């Protein structure tokens, strides 16, 4: 069976899905056989009237004014009676629009703080190309313009984009829904001492002109549009993998990611060929708000994964896995976000198992499980509905849906299915799923249909309580159990130390990896005696650890127990790192342990370094209103 997306000839902003193969769009719309419509509430686009198919982007990146000036020329496909085409924009200053070369009327509709504004352009059904000339605004949320001091080299500024979920519209006028795909090419002009890179085929060297051209021949949704501009260099890891980083981080990065080719091969052996040609990683400056972002051909990564011992490379496995789950088979709307992230966490763990062995990957799964239980527990009090796998983000920022749930509850539901049918069957199913649905979109409901047609009986689905997993709050009682012998050892050692003050023997701990230490720290009481914390710190040096995950974990019991020796490190960490996953729990710990003043003092210093994405979350957490 093949599931395809069809655009239909009239109606609201929706996409029509069908479960059988038909030639024409109109036929589809008439037949209504096994079809249902899906509304994407986070785009103003009306693809059924006119939809984009290809982008030609001609841009100039200006570091003095911190703006991008560009013309986006879109190839479009229209319905028979199309009168307008609608784009999403966010704080873009549109100066001119042409349709097939002739100047055209356009209107910018009301601004919504999540959605931005609709840009509506008059067209006829014959229209083929729409060109929009514009400059980005001061509130371009996808863009972070960094001063030289915020980079490793401290000599040249830096720019990077973050388009997911609906921020692409703040740097390119686009039909900004995950269900709309297009190919692109681009010509980008940057200062001649910098290189420009995109989610496309990329230059390996800087040139003297500062002008770069790009081609992305595989269709992508606009949340995967990406660009980075800075003083970075490339080093190959294998024929098709490599890393871009500032010079001072390049060798470290090559070492850290030296298993990259092995990971790609592991992934391919599981679920079929890598579809995107080259796979590179760019190490961004520390203000990057995420751990990683799966921009096609060029994963964006935080430098906080450069631990020096490859201990945090599961993040690379995660972003690589998105080359299948997410980038090939894409969540139809942000309410179906778990289809991107849950599948990716599952796939990530499978890659890690293949490359580093099962006892290693089961430690990761165990950490995932603890995180899920804690997050679900907290969320049940504040936002229970967001503990459903299928989200309801209407009228909200899709960023609200980025919690542990789509990632880890999604992962465990897939693991539950694997445990039911056995790995062999599940792997064959998944491989087929990616192959059958590549370069198209998937809704939660379509996935359930697909599951029933290809893997499970209705009875089995009921037995596994899949409806409860997807449509109900909390964690079902059949959450798979993870057994990690390596963690059992840690639990015993920690328990003993808590009771007796006897630290685990060195023969035991000398072989512990970062994950065992994380488990050790995560299992400490949230509030405990500072003497005991000091004893640990003296022995294992957690406060001065250079491993970002260890630091963030260590901040929890120490901040909550008022362990003062950690405060200096907390401050320097919060000022230098912009990764939201670390910032939120650390600021939370300060607030919840009566140190709101300290949190605010640090935040005032650190905030200018943070990306808008992190700022928005933290402003709310801290109830912070910028002084004008």
**Any idea which residues carry the catalytic annotation?**
319, 407
- As measured in angstroms, the least distance from the Cβ of 322 to Zn ion is 6
H or E, element range at 601: helix 596-606
Which of 373/598 has CB closer to ligand BES?
373
Shortest distance (Å) from residue 419 CB to Zn ion: 23
Query: What does the DSSP 8-state code read for residue 20?
Result: S
Give the DSSP H or E segment for 431: helix 423-437
Map 70-123 to HEC letters: EEEEEEEEECCCCCEEEEEECCEEEEEEEECCEECCEEECCCECCCEEEEEEEC
**Interface segment toward ligand BES; rule CB under 6 A; list 35-43, 82-90, 291-299, 502-510:** 291-299
Torsion over CA of 324, 578, 338 and 358, rounded to 10 degrees? 60
The shares of helix, strand and coil residues in the chain, as percent rounded to the nearest 5, are: 40, 20, 35
3-state secondary structure at position 175: coil
Q: Is 143 in the site for ligand BES (CB under 6 A)?
A: no
Helix, strand, or coil here: 531? helix
CB of 333 to ligand BES, least distance (A): 13
Per-residue contact flags (x/-) with ligand BES for residues 591 to 620, judged by CB under 6 A: ------------------------------
- Of 49, 259, 294, 362, the one binding ligand BES (CB under 6 A) is 294
Indicate whether 132 belongs to the interface with ligand BES (CB under 6 A). no
165 binds, among Zn ion, ligand BES, none (CB under 5 to 8 A by kind): ligand BES
Residue 548 C-beta: closest distance to Zn ion, Å: 18
Q: How near is the Cβ of 263 to ligand BES at its closest, in Å?
A: 13
What is the nearest approach in angstroms of ligand BES to the Cβ of residue 360?
A: 15
Applying CB under 6 A, among 88, 246, 280, 319 the residue interacting with ligand BES is: 319
Assign 145 to helix, strand or coil: strand
Q: Are 163 and 109 in contact (CB under 8 A)?
A: no
User: What is the DSSP secondary-structure string of 347-392?
Assistant: HHHHHHHHHH-HHHHHHHHHHHHHHHHHHHHHHHHH-GGGGSSS--
Closer residue to ligand BES in complex, CB, 87/338: 338
Considering the rule CB under 6 A, would residue 375 count as an interface residue with ligand BES? Answer: no
At 573, list the tokens: 């960490």
Q: Give the residues lining the site for Zn ion (CB under 5 A).
A: 341, 344
293 touching ligand BES, by CB under 6 A: yes
Closest to ligand BES by CB, 67 or 161:
161
Stretch of 262-270, 314-322, 590-598, 602-610 contacting ligand BES, by CB under 6 A: 314-322
Using alpha carbons only, what angle is made at residue 518 by residues 517 and 522, rounded to the nearest 5 degrees? 120
Q: With CB cut-offs between 5 and 8 Å by kind, which of Zn ion, ligand BES, none does residue 325 bind?
A: none
Distance (Å, rounded) from C-alpha 622 to C-alpha 624?
Answer: 5
User: Per rule CB under 6 A, is residue 590 in the interface with ligand BES?
Assistant: no
- Residues numbered 159 to 178 that lie near ligand BES (CB under 6 A) are 164-165
Chain centroid, CA 73 distance in Å: 27
CA distance 1 to 449: 11
Tell which positions 386-405 bind ligand BES, by CB under 6 A.
Answer: 402
Query: Which CB, 210 or 326, lies closer to ligand BES?
Result: 326
Which residue lies nearer to Zn ion by CB, 253 or 344?
A: 344
What's the CA gap between 430 and 54, in Å, rounded? 30
The set of residues, in sequence order, having a beta carbon less than 8 Å from that of 208 and lying 6+ positions away, is: 192
Measured CA to CA, the distance from residue 143 to residue 137 in angstroms comes to 10
Tell me which of 156, 181, 322, 595 binds ligand BES, using CB under 6 A: 322
Question: Does the protein bind ligand BES through residue 292 (CB under 6 A)?
Answer: yes
Q: Tell me if 335 contacts ligand BES by CB under 6 A.
A: no
* Interaction site with ligand BES (CB under 6 A): 164-165, 290-294, 315, 318-319, 322, 341, 402, 407, 581
């Amino acid at each position: 069976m093949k599931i395809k997306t069809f655009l239909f000839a009239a109606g609201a902003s929706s996409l029509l899905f069908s479960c059988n193969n038909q030639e024409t769009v109109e036929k589809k719309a008439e037949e209504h056989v096994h079809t249902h419509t899906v509304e994407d509430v986070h785009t103003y686009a009306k693809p059924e009237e006119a939809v984009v198919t290809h982008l030609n982007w001609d841009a100039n990146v200006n570091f003095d004014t911190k703006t991008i000036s560009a013309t986006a020329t879109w190839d479009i496909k229209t319905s028979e009676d199309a009168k307008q085409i609608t784009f999403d924009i966010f704080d873009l200053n549109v100066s001119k629009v042409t349709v097939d070369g002739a100047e055209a009327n356009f209107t910018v509709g009301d601004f919504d703080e999540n959605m931005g504004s609709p840009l509506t352009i008059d067209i006829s059904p014959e229209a083929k190309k729409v060109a929009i000339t514009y400059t980005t605004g001061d509130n371009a949320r996808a863009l972070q313009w960094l001063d030289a001091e915020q980079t490793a080299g401290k000599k040249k500024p830096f720019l990077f984009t973050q388009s997911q979920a609906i921020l692409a519209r703040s740097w390119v006028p686009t039909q900004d829904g995950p269900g709309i795909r297009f190919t692109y090419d681009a010509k980008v002009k940057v200062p001649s001492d910098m290189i420009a890179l995109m989610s496309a085929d990329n230059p390996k060297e800087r040139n003297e002109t500062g002008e770069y051209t790009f081609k992305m021949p595989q269709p992508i949704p606009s949340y995967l549009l990406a660009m980075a501009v800075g003083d970075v260099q490339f080093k190959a890891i294998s024929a098709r993998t490599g890393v871009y980083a500032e010079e001072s981080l390049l060798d470290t990065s090559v070492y850290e990611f030296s298993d990259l080719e092995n990971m790609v091969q592991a992934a391919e052996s599981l679920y079929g060929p890598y579809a995107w040609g080259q796979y590179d990683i760019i190490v961004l400056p520390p203000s990057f708000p995420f751990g990683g972002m799966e921009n096609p051909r060029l994963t964006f990564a935080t430098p906080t994964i450069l631990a020096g011992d490859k201990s945090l490379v599961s993040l690379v496995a995660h972003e690589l896995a998105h080359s299948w789950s997410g980038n090939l088979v894409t969540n139809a709307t942000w309410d179906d976000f778990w289809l991107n992230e849950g599948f990716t966490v599952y796939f990530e763990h499978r890659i890690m198992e293949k490359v580093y062995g099962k006892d290693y990957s089961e430690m990761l799964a165990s950490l995932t499980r603890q995180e899920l239980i804690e997050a679900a527990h907290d969320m049940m009090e504040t936002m229970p509905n967001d503990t459903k796998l299928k989200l309801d983000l209407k009228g909200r920022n899709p960023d609200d849906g980025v919690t542990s749930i789509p990632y880890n509850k999604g992962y465990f539901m897939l693991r539950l299915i694997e445990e039911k049918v056995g790995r062999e069957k599940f792997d064959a199913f998944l491989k087929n799923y990616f192959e059958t649905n590549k370069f198209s979109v998937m809704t939660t409901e379509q996935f359930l249909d697909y599951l029933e047609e290809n893997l499970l009986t209705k009875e089995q689905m009921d037995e596994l309580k899949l409806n409860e997993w997807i449509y109900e709050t909390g964690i079902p009682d059949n959450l798979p159990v993870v057994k990690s012998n390596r963690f059992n050892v840690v639990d015993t050692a920690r328990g003993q130390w808590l009771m007796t003050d006897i630290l685990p023997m060195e023969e035991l701990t000398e072989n512990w990896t970062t994950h065992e230490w994380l488990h050790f720290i995560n299992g400490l009481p949230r509030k405990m005696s500072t003497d005991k914390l000091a004893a640990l710190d003296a022995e294992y040096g957690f406060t001065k650890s250079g491993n970002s995950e260890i630091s963030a974990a260590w901040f929890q019991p120490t901040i909550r127990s008022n362990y003062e020796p950690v405060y200096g490190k907390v401050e320097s960490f919060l000022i230098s790192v912009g990764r939201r996953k670390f910032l939120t729990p650390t600021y939370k710990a300060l607030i919840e342990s009566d140190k709101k003043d300290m949190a605010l003092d640090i935040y005032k210093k650190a905030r200018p370094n943070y990306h808008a994405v992190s700022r928005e979350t933290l402003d709310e957490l801290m109830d912070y209103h910028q002084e004008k």
